[in-house]
Chains A and B, each alone.
Chain A
Amino acid sequence: MTETTYLKAITTTLAEAMRADERVLVLGEDVAEGGPWGATAGLVEEFGPERVRNTPISEAAICGIAIGAAQSGVRPVVEIMFIDFLTLALDQLVNQAAKAHFMSGGQLHVPLVVRTQGGAGQRGGAQHSQSLEAWLTHVPGLKVAMPSTAADAAGLLAAAIADPNPVVLVENKTLYFRREEAEEEPVSLGEARIVRRGSDVTVVALSRLVPEALDAAEELAADGIEVEVIDPRTLVPLDLEAILESVARTHRLVVAHEAVRTSGFGAELAAQVQEAAFDELDGPIERVGAPFAPIPFSPPLEDAYLPGRAEVVAAVRRALAR
C-alpha cells in the first residue's frame, strides 16, 4: 500500500503505459504543460513532444485525429479538459469512433481513450461543472468508465488503454487531490466493486457519490441501518449481476449520482434492476441526483444544488420506510 492521489495515479498510469508501449500517445489542450490539474505533468520531459502533443482548442479535431490515429495503429489517450467541452466533439465520438468497428463489418478498430472530468463544487458555473456521462452511455460502441478512487482511476485507465474499443473515462475534479492508501491491482471494464457490505439496503453510487454514500452509510450505521455500497466503476459495460446479487440480499435499492436526475444513468439502472428483479424489491427504487436546472454559480446555491451525503441518507430512509 502506498499513499497517492487520484491525480497522481492517473499520471503514473499514463507514464507506465507510454513506457510499455511506444504506440501510446497523449494529446490535448496544454497536456505538455501538465494541464490545469497536472494530470499529464512530466510526461513531455520523459516522452517528448511527438508523443505528448499540445493541441489547439479544437475538441472535435483532437478527437477526430485520435480516432484516425487509432484506426492506423496508434493508441491515443486524449484529454478533454472539461466534459462540458465534449459536446464540441460529439460527432467524432458518436458518429465516427463508436460506429467504425460495426459499420466496417469488424475491419476497423478504434483503441481510443478519452480522459475527461466532470463535477461541480468548485464554483465553475454551469459550463464547467456538468455530469454528462449518461449521454455517452446511450451510444452503442462507446465504453464509459467513472472511477471514484485512486486505485480505480489507475486500473480503469490501464484497462481502457488496453481495450480495442473507444473508452471515455469520466474523472471527477473534486476527487483529484484526495489522499488515499492505494494498492495497484488490475481492473476489468465491466466489473463492479462492493465498497461496503451491508444487509438492509443497496446504494449504487457513481463517482463522487461513492465517498458521499460511504459517509451516509456511516451515519446510518449509528441508527443500526446497514448499507451496502456498490460502485459499478464502468457504466458501459455494466456489471448488472453484481447489483442484482446485492438487491437479492437487501431487497431495497437507491441509485445515486451527481448528474441531473431526469434521464440520468440512475434511471437506466432502476429500469434494468426492476426488469430483472422486480420480485426481489420490497419497495420502489429511490433515485438521488441533481435538480433539473443548470448548475448555479453562487456558492450557497451551488452547495444546495449538489446531491451528497444528506440526500443519500434521506433516500435510504425513504427506501426503508416503504
Chain B
Amino acid sequence: MWRIRAFEERVGELTRASEVHGLVHLSIGQEAVAAGVCCALRADDTVYSNHRAHGHAIAKGAPLEGVMAELMGRADGLCRGLGGSMHLVDAEHGLLGATGVVGGNVPLALGSALASRLLGGDQVTVVFFGDGAVQGGIFVESVNVATLWRLPVILVCENNGFAEFTPRSAHTVVERVSDVVAPYGLERETVDGNDVVAVREAFARFLGAARGGEGPFLLECLTHRLRGHYEGDPERYREALAAEDWQELDPIQRLQRRGLDEGWLDSPTQLEQEAREEVERAVQFARESAFPPAGLTDELVYAS
C-alpha cells in the first residue's frame, strides 16, 4: 500500500509539473482494495482494471519503473509509451488491460475466465470497476452471462460513492452494488474496503472457490477516493475531508495502528521510506528513458 501511495503522490506532483501527461486519476485512499485482492493472486491470474489503474498494476506486480515511464510517455514504459495512465497493460504479470471507457472491459474479464476453462487451466480472472460502471448496460449483460455460464471470474467493485463528480444517490436508487446483482443469485459480499485485512479475507474465500472452477463472485469494497476524480478536478461537488476523519479512513494508517497494537509492526516509517526511495528510482529511470521513436505509431496498428 505504501508503494502505491508513494507512487501516486509523486505522480500528482509530476502531473502538476507537466512531467506526467494526460488525464490522471489517482486511487489514493483506495489502496486497500488493490493490495488486498492482488496479494492473494498468482502471477498467471488475470486482472482487468479501469481508468484508475496505477494501484492495480503495482499490486499485481508491475515494476514501478515501467509504470512511471509509461505515465511519462517513454519508450521504456510498460506499453512503450502508447497506452498511458488509463491503458496500462503488463501481460507478464497478468494485467491484461485497463480501459478509459467506464465498464467497457467487464466482459473481457468473462472472456479471459472462459478461456481459462476451455484451455483447461485454473487461472482466475478479476475485474476492478467503480460503482459508476454499474449503471451501464454492459455491466448487466456481463453479470447475466457470467452467472449463466458460471465463469470463474471475481467482480471487484470499488464503491467510493462517487461516479466522477456525482454522488451515487444522484445516479441510482440502489445504494449497494451487491443489491444490484442480487437477482442473479451470485455469491457476493460487501466489505469495508479501507480495511485491507477484511478485503483480503473476503476475497480469499471467493478466490479459493473460483480456483476450483466456481463462479462468478462479486466483492463490493466500500472505500473513499481522497483526491478528485482526476488531478486538477476542483471538487466543487463535495466538502474536503477533515484530517481526523481521514485518519480514521486511511487504509494505511489503519493497518499501521493495527500492526503496532498487535505487535507485528515495529517501524512503519521504514516501509514508507523504502517505498519513497523506490519511487524516486522509478522517476529517475523514467526521466532517463527516451521518448518512443516516431515510427512506432505505424508499426503497432496491426499484429503480424
Which A residues lie at the B interface, using CB under 8 A? 23, 25, 50-51, 53, 55-56, 58, 60-61, 63-74, 76, 91-92, 95-96, 99-110, 140-141, 143, 164-165
CB contacts (< 8 Å) of B107 on chain A: these are 60-61, 63-65, 67-68, 92
Q: A102 vs B110: C-alpha distance in the bound complex, in angstroms? A: 22
CB contacts (< 8 Å) of A70 on chain B: these are 111
Q: A105 vs B74: C-alpha distance in the bound complex, in angstroms? A: 11
How far is the CB of B232 from the nearest CB of chain A, in Å?
A: 23
20 pairs, CB–CB < 8 Å, chain A vs chain B: A64-B142, A68-B110, A68-B115, A68-B125, A69-B112, A69-B114, A69-B118, A71-B96, A71-B97, A71-B115, A73-B119, A74-B115, A91-B101, A95-B100, A100-B97, A102-B301, A104-B89, A106-B80, A141-B301, A143-B302
How far is the CB of A139 from the nearest CB of chain B, in Å?
A: 10
Identify the interface centre among A96, A109, A143: most chain B CB within 10 Å of its CB: A96
Identify the interface centre among B90, B96, B116, B303: most chain A CB within 10 Å of its CB: B303
B119–A23 touching, CB < 8 Å: yes
Q: A34 vs B278: C-alpha distance in the bound complex, in angstroms? A: 57
Residue of B nearest to A76 (CB): B111
B302–A65 touching, CB < 8 Å: no
Q: A70 vs B110: C-alpha distance in the bound complex, in angstroms? A: 11
CB contacts (< 8 Å) of A67 on chain B: these are 107-108, 111
B191 at the interface (CB under 8 A from A): no
CB contacts (< 8 Å) of B77 on chain A: these are 105
Contact partner of A164 among B99, B141, B148, B303, CB < 8 A? B303
Size of the B side of the interface (Cβ < 8 Å), in residues, is 47
Residue of A nearest to B118 (CB): A74
Contact partner of B101 among A74, A95, A105, CB < 8 A? A95
Q: A58-B141, A64-B107, A68-B111 are in contact. Are A105 and B82 (CB under 8 A)?
A: yes
A102–B82 touching, CB < 8 Å: yes
Residue of A nearest to B82 (CB): A105
- Rank and list the top 8 A-B pairs by shortest CB-CB distance, nearest first: A68-B111, A64-B107, A68-B108, A105-B80, A72-B115, A61-B141, A69-B111, A105-B79
Residue of A nearest to B81 (CB): A105
- Additional A-B contacts beyond A71-B97, A74-B111 (19; CB < 8 A): A23-B118, A56-B148, A61-B138, A61-B142, A64-B104, A64-B108, A64-B138, A65-B107, A68-B112, A73-B115, A74-B115, A91-B101, A99-B87, A100-B89, A102-B301, A104-B89, A105-B83, A140-B301, A143-B302
CB contacts (< 8 Å) of A95 on chain B: these are 99-101, 104
CB contacts (< 8 Å) of B304 on chain A: these are 164
Contact partner of A60 among B97, B99, B125, B141, CB < 8 A? B141
B137 at the interface (CB under 8 A from A): yes
CB contacts (< 8 Å) of A164 on chain B: these are 303-304
Contact partner of A69 among B78, B89, B115, B302, CB < 8 A? B115
A103–B79 touching, CB < 8 Å: yes
Q: A76 vs B110: C-alpha distance in the bound complex, in angstroms? A: 13
Q: A209 vs B114: C-alpha distance in the bound complex, in angstroms? A: 39
How far is the CB of A24 from the nearest CB of chain B, in Å?
A: 10
B99–A96 touching, CB < 8 Å: yes
Contact partner of B116 among A51, A72, A91, A101, CB < 8 A? A72
A104–B109 touching, CB < 8 Å: no
B115–A58 touching, CB < 8 Å: no
Identify the interface centre among B79, B82, B104, B118: most chain A CB within 10 Å of its CB: B118
B173 at the interface (CB under 8 A from A): no
A65–B111 touching, CB < 8 Å: yes
